[in-house]
Amino acid sequence: MSDQAVISESDALRILAYLTASADTQLFEPDIYGPFRLVEAASQLAGAVLDGEPTENREFWEGVRSSLEDNKFRVIWDRPGFREFVRETPREVAGELTRRDNDRTSA
């Protein structure tokens, strides 16, 4: 597990703005936009981490970022596919958490 600080404060503010605005728009927008906005925010977060040039785990962040970017607009044209993608993504992220825990305990 890397403890390198990679997100700039200005990127954090941009993501905070996006998340709080999305919480507001979700008061009136279709429910399915909720997962879509969270996927977008997750992608922005991954993008911000990559901008900070992480010395470790870059491959993971690149993978997750391109997967989020490639799949987010399926909300418009392939809703079942989008739902499937949203359900599957946490499994991959949890796999990364597990991998890092295992690395730590075996170190």
Q: What does the binding site for another protein look like in residue numbers (CB under 8 A)?
A: 14, 17-18, 20-22, 24-25, 29, 33, 37, 40, 77
Smaller CB distance to another protein: residue 36 or 60?
Answer: 36
Smallest gap, in angstroms, from Cβ of residue 84 to another protein?
Answer: 21
Smallest gap, in angstroms, from Cβ of residue 86 to another protein?
Answer: 16
DSSP string across the chain: --------HHHHHHHHHHHHHHHHHTTTS-TTHHHHHHHHHHHHHHHHHHHT--SSSHHHHHHHHHHHHHHTTHHHH-HHHHHHHHHHHHHHHHHHHHHHHHHHHH-
User: Which residue type does 73 have?
Assistant: F
Smaller CB distance to another protein: residue 33 or 50?
Answer: 33
Smallest gap, in angstroms, from Cβ of residue 44 to another protein?
Answer: 10
Smaller CB distance to another protein: residue 39 or 60?
Answer: 39
